[in-house]
Amino acid sequence: MKHLVILFISLFCLVSFAQVDPALAKEYYQKGDFEKALVLYKKLLKTSRSSPDYTLKVIECHQQLNQLKAAKEYIETQILQSWHPQFLVELGYNYQLQKKPKLASSNYDQALLIIEQQPEYVYGVGQRFESHSLLNQAIQAYEIGLAVAPNAAYYYQLAGLYAAQQNIEKMMERYLDYVQTSPPYMNQIMRLLADYISEDSRKPYNQLFKKVLLKKLQAAPDPLWNQWLGWLYVQQNEFSKAFIQEKAVYRRSPKSFQGLINLAVLANEQNAYEIALNIFEFIIQNATDTRLLILANCKLLELQLEIAKDSKIYPEINASYVELLDRYKLGQQSIELQLSYAQFLAFYDNKLDTASTFLKIALKENLPALTAAKLKMMLADVFVAQNKFNQALLYYTQIQLAVKNSPLAQQARFKVAKTSYYKGDFDWAETQLKVLKSSTSQLIANDALELKLLITDHKAIDSLYTALKRYAKADLLMTQKKPKEAILVLDSILENHKADPIIDQVLLFQAHVYESQKQYVKAASNYLLIIKNHKEEILIDDAYFYLAELYRTQLEDSEKAQHNYESIIFNHEDSIHFVEARRQYRILRGDLIN
């Protein structure tokens, strides 16, 4: 009976301890209720004696309660039991709190001496120094670790510590060391360093980073440093210099053209068309992979169209496409070339019938379902441009059935809705858009929501959809690459439907069309009208942002740009443009972004 009673009491105690909630202890600690936290952490240690986190929390609670003697005794007990040097750091810090710097330093030094002999403790010691903001000692710990037992994680920790000390040169060096030992994290480190790098190559951090890279390049040539130099030049919009570096990377490691392709895409996005052309020409001269050669040739021709903006070159472009198709033939391998050629015929050369005939011939090849679906998508787009809406809808529906649940199928469903909207069948368009709001593609979901709101907002106001039909017509004209006609249709809405709630949307759309035609003053005028007359509407933050971008990039009025960015920062904190507006505002104001 006596044994049963003891067993019952033991079980009761065990259950009592087991009922201690670690989350509650943590909550008390975070709220600053250290007495309650201390009680709970001690109870937790009775069931989890090996938990270093609970042990350290007991020490910290004693210290927060100014129970430094109790903390010292507890730490010394831990030292005797485990000999882990992190407790020497804790003892040193306890002495520091008692204003005994010599004893503190002595214990810190002992901890550092131990990790020289036992590098497995480096991370634990470094972390304890960091937790007490002892940055110099933490740096010593990780530097010791690198010397005696190199570990890529130490580079990352050191970079953060040097950043905290504002030793930016050392921070940059250690981040680069980390990338050299851990290549998959290159993009992550680029994002971190981007906060220090400006578009202006004369800025101190830009020059410092270049100096660090050149030093590494001279000490031990490595394509990685050329790659980083290329990245720096891209941040500074110096694409020709970036191209030189990417060529150097390719010549040392000619297996991949990915860096060159990425650079060409970036140059194209920043309107550095000539550099993008040069890059694709370089790829064509050096590549042997057929798919890459096709892609590069397509991009080259598309860029030539973008640069020239002149129909006089269309016969030459057409001849180039025909020559490439003769070389690579129709079929799966040349799908990108076929799509590019059809795009040129339909939306540049305005040969819609020729484009649809070409695509129908291409579809006769024995093609995988996904490849055929891509060609059908382009053919349906051509039908939309020809105002053959029913034929377009038929093909979009076929795509949904052929490649169910794929991103292409979702895109086809959205185009069904968009085509119905062009036709003026707004009810059916709205039905499709409701489904697409939950699309797995965020871009399609956002576009679907935006179009649905446009329709819904005007449904109750005008049952005939008079203004909305005109707006859809202008939208279709832009799809057909007829901006001048689109502007005229939008003008008619502004003239004849002044009281319609669609007016702010019309002004914004027309401003974008003006910008595409380089009519920047007219675009600015539209944005200003939205700001003046539609302050309470949902598009007001868009107007401020696009006007600021226009002043910054085209009209070269940084003061007005700054004023409009400021309006978003202080009056529209929930805007999707808030982060970028704040960044550009700080750059214009001359802040160091870090």
What percent of the chain shows pLDDT beyond 90?
Answer: 69
Instruction: Give the pLDDT confidence of 66-101 residue by residue, as tens digits.
Output: 999 998 998 898 888 888 999 999 999 999 999 999
With beta carbons less than 8 A apart as the criterion, state whether 525 and 560 touch. no
Q: How far is CA 427 from the centre of its chain?
A: 35
- The secondary structure of residue 96, as a DSSP letter, is H
pLDDT band at 9; cut points 50, 70, 90 = very low
Quick one: how far is CA 157 from the chain centroid? 24
For residue 443, which amino acid is it? L
Q: How far is CA 383 from the centre of its chain?
A: 35
The CA distance from 119 to 55, in Å, is 22
Nearest 10 degrees: Cα torsion 65, 68, 69, 74: 90
The Cα 124–Cα 153 span in angstroms is 13
What is the CA angle 319-320-322, rounded to 5? Answer: 65
Q: DSSP state, 353?
A: H
Q: Which residues does 220 contact at the CB level (< 8 Å), separation at least 6?
A: none
pLDDT higher for 53 or 357? 357
Arithmetic mean of pLDDT, 515-522: 94
Three-state DSSP class for residue 544: helix
pLDDT at 16: 44
Say how far apart CA 594 and CA 162 lie, in whole Å: 13
Q: How far is C-alpha 481 from the geometric centre of its chain's CA atoms?
A: 30
The whole-number average pLDDT for the span 211-227 is: 93
Does residue 538 carry a pLDDT above 50? yes
pLDDT value of residue 210: 96
Closest by Cα among 387, 438, 388 to 413: 438
| CA dist., res. 434 & res. 153, Å (int) | 47
Domains and CATH numbers, the chain: 485-594 (1.25.40.10)
User: With contact defined as beta carbons under 8 Å apart, do 469 and 459 qualify?
Assistant: no
Helix, strand, coil % over all residues of the chain, rounded to 5 = 80, 0, 20
Burial of 361 (0-12, 13-18, 19+ CB in 10 A): exposed
Tell me the pLDDT band of 587, cut-offs 50, 70 and 90: confident
Strands (E), 304-364: none
Q: Distance between CA atoms of 385 and 478, rounded to whole angstroms?
A: 10
Residue 400 pLDDT level (bands cut at 50, 70, 90): very high
Mean pLDDT for the stretch of residues 411-427: 92
Whether residue 480 contacts residue 493, with contact meaning beta carbons closer than 8 Å, is answered with: no
Rounded Cα distance, 90 and 77, in Å? 12
The whole-angstrom separation of Cα 142 and Cα 84 is 17
Token readout for 594 is 């870090």
Structure tokens at 147: 């010397």
Cα 379 to chain centroid, rounded: 32
Decide which of 459 and 21 is more confident: 21
* pLDDT score, position 439: 63
Q: Are 178 and 170 in contact (CB under 8 A)?
A: no
Q: What pLDDT score does 592 carry? A: 53
| CA 21 to mean position of chain CA atoms | 39
pLDDT bracket for residue 6 (50, 70, 90): very low
Neighbouring C-beta atoms of residue 55, cutoff 10 Å: 25
CB 140 within 8 A of CB 112: yes
Predicted confidence at residue 447, as pLDDT, reads 84
pLDDT digits (tens, 9 = 90+) for 428-437: 888 888 887 6
pLDDT of residue 7 exceeding 60, the answer is no
CA distance linking residue 477 with residue 88, whole number of Å: 74
In Å, how far from its chain's centre is CA 339? Answer: 28
Residue 47 has pLDDT above 90, yes or no: no
Confidence band of 440 (pLDDT split at 50, 70, 90): low
The tokens describing 242, both together, are 């970036």
Candidates 351, 326, 348; CA nearest to 337 is 326
Residue with the two structure tokens 């981040």: 175
Report the pLDDT value the prediction gives residue 506, as an integer from 0 to 100.
95
Is the pLDDT at 363 greater than 60? The verdict is yes
Distances (CA, A) of 589 to 69, 160, 242, 545, 585: 52, 27, 28, 16, 6
Quote the pLDDT of residue 269: 87
Specify the pLDDT at position 463. Answer: 65
- The model's pLDDT over 115-167, given as tens digits with 9 standing for 90+, comes to 999 999 999 999 999 999 999 999 999 999 999 998 999 999 999 999 999 99
| 495/73 Cα distance (integer angstroms) | 85
**pTM (two decimals):** 0.76
Task: Choose the weakest-confidence range: 6-10, 100-104, 119-123, 574-578.
Answer: 6-10
Sign of the Cα pseudo-torsion (507, 482, 344, 393, in order): positive
Alpha-carbon torsion angle 322, 326, 327, 329, nearest 10: 110
- Token pair recorded at residue 525: 């005028």
CA-based angle 94:100:106, to the nearest 5?
A: 80
* Residues 171-183, mean pLDDT to the nearest whole number: 95
Task: Report long-range pairs for 371-376 (Cβ below 8 Å, ≥24 apart).
Answer: 371/332, 371/335, 372/402, 373/399, 373/402, 373/403, 373/406, 373/408, 373/409, 373/412, 374/335, 374/339, 374/408, 375/335, 375/338, 375/339, 375/342, 376/402
